[in-house]
Amino acid sequence: MKKAGLFLLSAFLMLMSGSVMAQCSLCTKTAQQLGEGPAKGLNNGILMLALTPLAIIGFLAFRWWRSNSEA
């Protein structure tokens, strides 16, 4: 049951991640003034910068969960 729930949650997050816009209000205003092409590049850059800290947090959370589930 836990594996099915984890799979469904992962699938949902992957399907919804395409529409996520990772921009603060200042970045959104700047991107609107730049036009369509640079706005996509700015959004991709913000997502790439956010990837590393999120991956580290995810790895630490996984290790914490794994060590607690073994006990």
pLDDT tens digits for 10-64? 887 777 665 556 567 777 777 778 888 887 888 788 888 888 889 999 999 999 9
Report if residue 51 sits inside a domain.
yes
Report if residue 4 sits inside a domain.
no
Report if residue 57 sits inside a domain.
yes
Q: Which residue in this structure is represented by tokens 């997502």?
A: 47
Tokens of 35: 């036009």
| Per-residue pLDDT, 36 | 81
Q: With beta carbons less than 8 A apart as the criterion, state whether 43 and 23 touch.
A: yes
Q: With beta carbons less than 8 A apart as the criterion, state whether 31 and 38 touch.
A: yes
Q: Report the distance separating Cα 36 and Cα 59, nearest Å.
A: 34
Report if residue 43 sits inside a domain.
yes
Tokens of 70: 């073994």
pTM: 0.49
Domain containing residue 66: 22-70
Number of domains in the chain: 1
Report if residue 10 sits inside a domain.
no
